[in-house]
Amino acid sequence: MKQLSGFEPVAHSSLGLVTTSRITFKGDNYILELESGDTLSPVTVAYETYGRLSRNKDNAILVCHALTGDAHAAGHHTGEPGEKPGWWDLLIGPGKPLDTDRYFIICSNFLGGCKGTTGPTEINPATGKPYGLHFPFYTVKDMVKVQKWLVDYLDIEKLLAVIGGSLGGMQVLQWTISYPEVVAGALPIATTARMSPQAIAFNEVARQAIMSDPQWNFGLYEPDSQPASGLALARMIGHITYLSEEAMLKKFSRRFINGKNRGYRFEADFQVESYLHHQGSTFVNRFDANTYLYITRAMDYFDLHADYGSLKKAFSGCKSSFLVISFTSDWLFPEVCSQELVRALRMAGKNVSYCNMDSDQGHDAFLLPGNRMGEVVSGFLTRVQNEF
């Protein structure tokens, strides 16, 4: 099938209907020892797969999602009019860069999520109630350990590639370090080896927005009455960091909601305000407040410098080929973060390519059409597959 020239939208429902599967890892062989010192068992993982695993099991690609993503990366669950496809449907499907006619794609909701994998919303076997804030703290390394359980369950000894953006890119980096023999190609996109103080600060303000909501009730809220105002505000704060000034100017400028007239009110008056309110209100309907607290803290704790002594030491045992991608307008994880990764990989003697994509879309560019990331990814995967 013809390869797409770039990161372009394709026909609706190109993958058709897909389903989410679940596997529960339990028993003495599956007691998850967390970096925090706590243990967790059993652990259920929600995941989706697309395409077919080759006879030699050498075409598997693991997709790692970002902060508020999930296992549903492509295709549709119902096929009803207006249903949104999976979060990376632009990239995954027949003839797309992650070509399901060539590759077997795996995407799981990571540990601590709220879309089917064990996390704060799931039932604690010890109490019969949701874990809430009794859920143990976990890290990116813990997420990757659970993903490895899933890959082993699928009877795959080596992954052709691991790919992900933002927090997904952190998981990619950790995969190459924790399981160097398993990953042939690594594609960390719009990511960093450690969060900057500014990024941690934004996460903390978002968490405080949630915890300051009276409905939060120290994490003891009922599932149908979570701290909606606080969670919506947290999403609004986060969403500002995902865009760029150029993107906001192009999309909203200083336009008012009601034409050119000032409303002289404190309710949303500018289009950009209305957009942020919409993002916040829709987010409350699909995400959990306690889960947001845990995931943002896991991002804060990710620090390859501190964990391994230096980035060069962190990557010294890696055996993967790398393609590092950044975006010119990403100010959350700016290009300097990716360039730091590339320098460390080269100092460690690793095979690494780097592409800084020209985009005005900000941090979220890896999720959006309008750039040529897809063909860069496609070319890298073809090269790794030929070498593999």
Domain boundaries, the chain: 21-194+304-387, 200-295
| Catalytic residue of the set 65, 363, 364, 378 | 363
pLDDT tens, 292-345? 999 999 999 999 999 999 999 999 999 999 999 999 999 999 999 999 999 999
Segments in the chain forming alpha helices (H): 140-153, 167-178, 197-211, 228-242, 245-251, 271-284, 289-301, 304-308, 311-315, 335-347, 373-387
Pairing of strands 92-93, 98-99: parallel
166 is catalytic: yes
CA angle, residues 361, 210, 307, in degrees to nearest 5: 70
363 is catalytic: yes
Distance CA 189, CA 154 (A): 25
CATH code for residues 21-194+304-387: 3.40.50.1820
User: What pLDDT is stored for residue 223 in this prediction?
Assistant: 84
- Is the pLDDT assigned to residue 230 strictly greater than 90? yes
Distance CA 212, CA 55 (A): 54
330 is catalytic: yes
C-alpha distance from residue 321 to each of 38, 325, 377, 382, 388 (Å) = 34, 13, 13, 12, 11
Distance CA 344, CA 56 (A): 33
Q: Which CATH number fits domain 200-295: 3.40.1380.20, 3.40.50.720, 1.10.1740.110, 3.40.50.1100?
A: 1.10.1740.110
- Is the pLDDT assigned to residue 6 strictly greater than 90? no
| Catalytic residue of the set 14, 166, 244, 338 | 166
Mean predicted lDDT score pLDDT of the chain: 94
3-state secondary structure of 321: strand
| Catalytic residue of the set 89, 142, 307, 330 | 330
Give the list of residues 6+ apart from residue 377 with CB closer than 8 angstroms, or none.
91, 97, 98, 163, 187, 323, 325
Mean pLDDT of the region 165-169: 98
Length of the chain: 388
User: What pLDDT is stored for residue 387 in this prediction?
Assistant: 87
Q: Does pTM surpass 0.85?
A: yes
Please provide residue 172's backbone torsions phi and psi, each rounded to the nearest 5 degrees.
-55, -50
